[in-house]
Structure formats: structure tokens, C-alpha cells
Structure 1
Amino acid sequence: MKCIFNTISRKERQHYNNSGDFGHSLFKYYVDRCPGPNCVISPVSVFLCMSMLERGANGATKTELEKLLYSSSEGSESESQNIMKTLKESSVPGFILNLANGLFLQEVFEPLPDFVSEMRTDFNAHVDFVNFGSVEGMKKLNAWVKKETNGKVKEITDYGSDETVLALINAVYMKGKWSSSFMDDNTWKCDFHVSRSTTVKTDMMRQTNKFYYVRDEEANFSLAFLPYSGMLGKKSFWEMGILLPDDMGSDLKDFVQYLEQGSLTSLRQRARKENLDVWMPKFRVETSIDLIPILKLMGVEAAFSNRAQFPNISRNVHTKVSKMLQKCYVDVDEKGTEAAAVTVVDTREYCLGYNGPILFQMTSPFIFFIRNSRCGIVLFCGCVSDPTA
């Protein structure tokens, strides 16, 4: 598998740290607001959607979006292109990764040709016209979403109205086989400690093998990295990291800080291959996220108000972002992981030391993330507090 780090400069390489910092901030604010026991979000999908939106902005709106993306306008453009290139080059036998961008326009809306051209050339966006607010329009949007996520996100319900003038959509789909699969006959019913006083029965997978592993004695957690298969004879750079607190009564929010790009990179560099006895619950997490409250906490205000400035989208119509949502799906079993995410921006018009195997038993809440160990791109990250929920 090629990694874009082989061909880009030190300055461009630093941009990945920017997207990593963005992803960590997004996940931190999301976990604080997540109402359920389990959660998942795709930071890279949000990043690419906001990068597309930033191209149409100007003034204070553009400044806020640039700050959100942790980069200058030029840097943001370069970073989004490098991320897309890396993701598109990642599909190999054993690891499927599909990335798609879409620009859907209201049939009577006239965007600036330069904006449409940028979406096509820089983001490889599929461009189409839609009658928003109609049954036919929703069918067209949902058919595109279903196709690009291999049916894992079937629809984006309650989306679009006759006031919508355009929608920017990013879709990500991955299906990765474990480099070392769990055997079906090693799966059994096991207690999972949702809290110190509550347990649930769940399907627990098990295998003993060598995986990269690191312990933080001071912070009291362990971190293991389970790789996905790559091209025959080549190393896979995609892996699932699992952060497991020592204390089953720990609040996972207290450990999100260790997913900050610099901290996570340091932990990964310290990790060494160890013989691990891994217990891992099968789990499936599906979420629907309203991103606007989270992005407001991260400093974006103008884009969602009547002060929004998107003159590079249209000169004749004043637009603002009225809705931004993401749907996510992650399914983990003995063979590997299947995951998908769709992020949608609705833009509307407005008036103006041990010899034996080390035990790594995920029988209590944990954090997981799917990450490229070479580039640091995070596809998905989430928390599992109850695998049966």
C-alpha cells in the first residue's frame, strides 16, 4: 500500500497533524454530548465536507472555517487533496475503502460555474440536480447514499426542503479483514461490565497472537492495535486501536485526551509487539448526529446564521448552512470490520515484562478508532460501553 508521506514535503506532512487535531476536537465534543452508551463518528468525513464548504466562503465565515480546519486556505486545500489521495489509494485485496463526494443542486438554483468546477476537479464530486422537498428528490439522494456506502446507510431521512438550494455530501465506506481473524468456535457468551454494578451477556471473541501494545502506568490504561489485511506480502497501515482503561468503572471521557494527534502518535511509536490474549466483544454501532451544535462549540457561528458569507457559491442568492448531519455505521465481528459514514451539509437561501500472553480483555467500556498508522488519518472513532445496546 502506498502512503502519501512517501511523496509530500515536510510542510504538507504537517497538515495531517492539523486534520488529526480537528478529529480529536470533534470527537471530544461529540462524546460529551452523546446520550447513549455507544457512539461513533467519522472525523475524516466531516473534515472533507467542511473543506468543500470552505471553498464557497469568504470574510468572517471563511476565517471561522479555516480556523476549524486548523489551516490556512492554501493548507486546507492541500491537506484535503492529500487525504483524498491517500484514501483512494488504500483499497487493496482484503481492505476495501471507498470515498465519494457529491454536490446536489436545486433545479432552479444557479451556482457559480467556478464553484461547481472546483467541486468536480478538486474533490471529484458527483454533480447532479435535485428537486429538494419532493419524494423524487429524496429518492435520488438516498439512492446515491445507499450506493456509495454499499447499502449500510440506506437513507438520510428528514433531509432537504423546498428552501434547500444545494447539498454537499461526503460518503465513506470501508470493509477490512483482520490480518489475524478470530475463529468462530472461539466466540462464547461472556459477561461485559457496563459498570461496577451492572453486567450484560455478550458474544465475546478471543485469540492469542502478537499485536502492537503499549501500557501507560501513570494514566492506568492499555492500548492495543489490531491490523487489517493488506496486499499480499505487504504491510497493512490500517488498524483498529483499542484504548482499554484498567478500572471498569472509569469514565471514557477522561481518556479521550490520549487520542489527541501528538499523544496518539507518541503512544503508537512506543508500542511493541507483544503476545496478547485478546478478548473482544462483537458489536455494531449506528448513530445519527446533528453536527451544528458541536461545530458551534468548536467556534463556527457565522456559517449557520444570516451573517453567512458564501459569495463563491452564488452571487445572486445569499445562503447559509441550515442543517448538517452525519450517519455512521460500524460492525465488528470475527472476520473484520465494516463501516460507513455519510456527512451532509444543507445550504439554504436567506434574506440578507511477562513471558506468557498479556491479558487484553475488553470486558468493560473501551474506546476504539480506525486509523492509518503511517499517515495518522482517523476514519472512525467511538466508544463502546454496552456492546448489546
Structure 2
Amino acid sequence: MPGLPVSRIVTTAPSVSAPAASSVTHHQRTLRDIFPTKMSSSFYLVFIAIGLHVTGHCFPGTQNEGKGNEVNHSPARNSTLYKMSTSNADFAFNLYRKLTSENTGKNVFFSPVSVSSALAMMSLGARSDTQTQILECLGFNLTEMQEEEIHQGFHHLLHTLNLPNKELELKTGNALFIQKQVKILTKFTTDVQKLYESEAFSTDFSNVSAAEQKINNYVKKKTKGKIVDLIKDLEPNTFMILVNFIFFKAKWEKPFDPLETKQNGNFYMSQSDVIKVSFMHKTEEHFYFVDRILNCTVLQMDYSKNALAIFVLPDEGQMKSLEDTLMSTTLRRWNHLLQKGLVNLYVPKFFISASYNLNTILPGMGIQDAFTNQADFSGISEHYKLMISNVVHKSVLEVGEKGTEAAAVTEIRMEFRSASVNPGTLIVLNRPFLVMILDKATRSILFLGKVMEPMEK
């Protein structure tokens, strides 16, 4: 999101409740119905597409991070990743608070690691205050962590996330679409390819429709068809577009039995606004913790390989106070306090998507010069005055069973009952909750959001 106006960035919840029978409230009532399939959870992150435009010139012709999950890295790399995870988590929660304040009552969902890596990548071409503002906004203390260590840290992070895995699909990367016949500094293209595993494509932006098609086809392919038509209304004086993507798809380590899914349960968006949703159900051992200080319940659910989900269910009326206190130390504290126990769990099936113009958010977080004529991106080009014009982040999340569209459904009416009937602590996500998806090896928050209205796809 550099010195020329940047085109866009596009990228592509849950919580817990109180203990045992005491967690059953008047809000936890009837559910019904059955679905015949296995459940998996999929996240489709669109990207950060950053477009640079010229101004005044024309172109010449957690630690968790999961109990018992050891990080297999050398001490040096482990130390760097630990510092990275702390900074990235604090940035994630700061950005989350900004997004929620501007989207009151709406679902919030984004990929912190995608936004962080894209901005860090752009900082390679930034200089002076522009570079400092970007890195400090990302949560890095430049007196404690040098620029080179930051970029090496992102390199280790992206490389680790992209390691092949048969049980979990996780792929992240960057692509630069650069104005044809424009000279970009060799050091910049070399560094982004080496450190951020980026591809570079020469693009004729004067042919707007062809450029849009080229970028959108790339995005569609990398997200396996989940994100289409990412780039629209491209301007012919675009200098460069950075596209950052992440694709994640995984199955629960302990799947839900589709025969236990209940339809038409009440989800309380507020005291007076109730919608009907399907609830998946199971009674299994999971790590969880009732936080009496932050007034919430925290539940960890593992995916089949190297990833986990954290659901956080605030007590009634405690969402705002919880959001205000979230930081990297919160995750570390929860990690130490989570205990394994039998949980009688109800989780709504849901699909949420969100799109944000981060160029209206990031200046309020400290990245100010990059979006003005004061921007210094001379590390990208010495011949053009660049500034960021637009940063669009788009994301999609789906949690639910597969293959239910063609399944026969049998209606069953039931009520939630106390743990004395169904053994285990009762946790029912039947009001707004937070969700985080974390990578165990790197301690990175891949996705972060708030489910205010769980819509089924």
C-alpha cells in the first residue's frame, strides 16, 4: 500500500459459555432436525490487493497454542517466531477493535496474518517515516527488533505455513502485478520474492479489462474458486497491485456426528432479536476455561493437523468489555489455564463474509504518510512518486457439514438440558461469540472474527 494510491487489499468466532448446568439460561432452548454428513470447517481468505498509483507523473511509453504442541524450530527461529506471534497478535486485536467500532452489530472477520504479511512486504519498499509507521503499526518495537529480523521472521512464518500437509490445506502467498514497461528496483522485486514467496507478473494496466481478468483469474485459481471478481473498477494509471492470499481448509480432529445436528434452535443476536439456526452437537473432551476475570468461557477445538480454533463466549452483556481487553498476553494466559474436561457442546453452523476498505482504518492506527503525498516508497521506484490509494480486505468463513443439500431431513424437537442429563460442562454458543483460528507451529492467528449473526449458506 505504497506511495501511489494503492488499489486494493482483499482478504479473503466462537466462544464459550459458563460451566455446567449454571451455563444454561433462558436463552438456551429448542433445537431440532438432523443432517446426514460429517462436519468440516473451511476458511477462504480472499486477499490483500494493494494497488499503487502515480501522483503527479505519467508513465513513459501463543503461545499456544495448543497443549502438548511443541514448536519444532531451532532456538533462534523459535525466539523470532515467538516475538512475531506477540506483535502479530497485538496488531490483530488492535485492528479487530477498529473494525468492530465501525461495524456495530455486524459480523466481523479477517485474516491478521494476511494483513500483517502484506503490509510488512510493502515496508520493504518504504523509507523514512513511511516505513517506521508501517512497522510500528504492526506492533514491532524497532529498538528491540531490527528490520532485517522482522522480514526474516515473516519469511520463516510463511515458509512454515506453506509446508505440505495431507490432512490440512493451508496455502498463503503474494503476487505482484507490475505496470508493463515500468522499471521497479531490482532489490525490491528480489527481496519480495525471496522473503515473502511472491510471484511477479508484468501487466498492461492501460488495458483495464485484460488486467482485471488476469488478476481475478489468478485469485480464483489460488482460492480454488472461492473468491471471484476480486478486482473491479481498475484505473489505467495503476502502477502496481499486490495481491496477498491465504486459503485454509481443515476437518475437526473430533468431528460432529451429523445425526446429532439440531435445526431451528434460537440464536440470540440481542435480548429482543432472535433468529433460528442449526446447532451441531457433541459430548467430547476438550480444553476449556471459565474466565471469572474477563467474564467469558473459552473453548479450544483442534483440527486434524497443526491448527486449532478458539471460541470465546462472553457472559451476558460482557462483549464490549472483553473486546477492550484482548491482547497477546490474554492468549498466553488462556493457554496456561485451559484444562481438559468433558464438554456438552452446541455450536451453530454458520457462514460469514466480510469486506473492508482498510485505507480508511489504517491511518487511525498510525500508518498516515503512506496514503498521502508525504509517502516515501522510493525503495520500489526512484522515478515515480508513489502512495497507497486503496486497501481492500475480503474474507469468507464457513463452518458446517458437507453434503447436506441433498440429504433427507427428519424433524426432531428437543430442549437443551442440564449436565445432569447430558454429562459434561454445557457450552452453548447461542449468542454473539468470538472465533480465532491459530496455527500451532508458528503461534499465528490465521483468522479472527465475531459472529453476531450466524447465517447458513
Q: By the TM > 0.5 criterion, same fold? A: yes
Aligned-partner Cα distance in 2 for 1:180–1:258: 31
CA pair 87-2 structure 1, distance change in 2 beyond 3 A: farther
Amino acid at match of 1:138: E
Of residues 296, 307, 315, the one that matches 1:221 is: 296
Larger radius of gyration: 2
Native 8 Å contact 1:4 1:85 kept in 2: no
Of residues 183, 191, 195, the one that matches 1:118 is: 191
Stretches of 4+ moved more than 4 A in 1? Answer: 4-7
Aligned-partner Cα distance in 2 for 1:131–1:251: 52
Native 8 Å contact 2:277 2:348 kept in 1: yes
Please list every run of 5 or more consecutive structure 1 residues that lacks an aligned counterpart in the other structure. 231-235, 337-353
Q: 118-127 or 358-367, which moves further after superposition?
A: 118-127
1:129 corresponds to: 202
2:132 corresponds to: 63
Please list every run of 5 or more consecutive structure 2 residues that lacks an aligned counterpart in the other structure. 1-68, 404-418
Aligned-partner Cα distance in 2 for 1:217–1:114: 52
Query: Equivalent residue of 1:8, what SS?
Result: helix
Amino acid at match of 1:94: E
Of residues 76, 98, 118, the one that matches 1:8 is: 76
Of residues 248, 253, 257, the one that matches 1:183 is: 257
Query: Equivalent residue of 1:160, what SS?
Result: coil
CA pair 84-182 structure 1, distance change in 2 beyond 3 A: same
Aligned-partner Cα distance in 2 for 1:86–1:335: 28
Aligned-partner Cα distance in 2 for 1:124–1:176: 23
Native 8 Å contact 1:182 1:335 kept in 2: no
Native 8 Å contact 1:20 1:376 kept in 2: no
Amino acid at match of 1:119: V
Native 8 Å contact 2:184 2:380 kept in 1: yes
Aligned-partner Cα distance in 2 for 1:105–1:264: 39
Native 8 Å contact 1:181 1:335 kept in 2: no
Specify which structure has the bigger relative contact order, considering alpha-carbon pairs within 8 angstroms and separated by 6 or more residues.
2
CA pair 359-159 structure 1, distance change in 2 beyond 3 A: farther
Aligned-partner Cα distance in 2 for 1:255–1:375: 25
1:327 corresponds to: 394
Amino acid at match of 1:175: K
State the Cα deviation string for residues 266-301 of structure 1 (Å, max 9, x = none). Answer: 112210111001100011111111111221111111
State the Cα deviation string for residues 14-39 of structure 1 (Å, max 9, x = none). Answer: 23211121112111211111255212
Of residues 249, 269, 283, the one that matches 2:350 is: 283
Q: 170-179 or 181-190, which moves further after superposition?
A: 181-190
Establish whether residue 173 from structure 1 lines up as the match of residue 242 from structure 2: no
Native 8 Å contact 1:96 1:174 kept in 2: yes
Q: How many residues align?
A: 363
* Alignment TM-score, normalising by the size of structure 2: 0.76
1:254 corresponds to: 321
Offset at residue 227 of structure 1 (A):
0.5
Of residues 173, 177, 189, the one that matches 1:104 is: 177
What pairs with 1:295-334 in structure 2 (closer than 5 Å)?
A: 295-334=362-401
Aligned-partner Cα distance in 1 for 2:309–2:78: 26
* Alignment TM-score, normalising by the size of structure 1: 0.88
What pairs with 1:1-389 in structure 2 (closer than 5 Å)?
A: 3=71, 5-9=73-77, 11-12=79-80, 13-35=82-104, 37-71=106-140, 72=142, 73-89=147-163, 91-132=164-205, 134-189=208-263, 190-230=265-305, 236=306, 238-247=307-316, 250=317, 252-334=319-401, 356-373=423-440, 375-388=442-455
State the Cα deviation string for residues 36-82 of structure 1 (Å, max 9, x = none). Answer: 52120100000010011000010111111121122331232122112
Q: 121-130 or 135-144, which moves further after superposition?
A: 121-130
Identity of aligned residues (%): 25
Offset at residue 166 of structure 1 (A):
0.4
Native 8 Å contact 1:222 1:243 kept in 2: yes
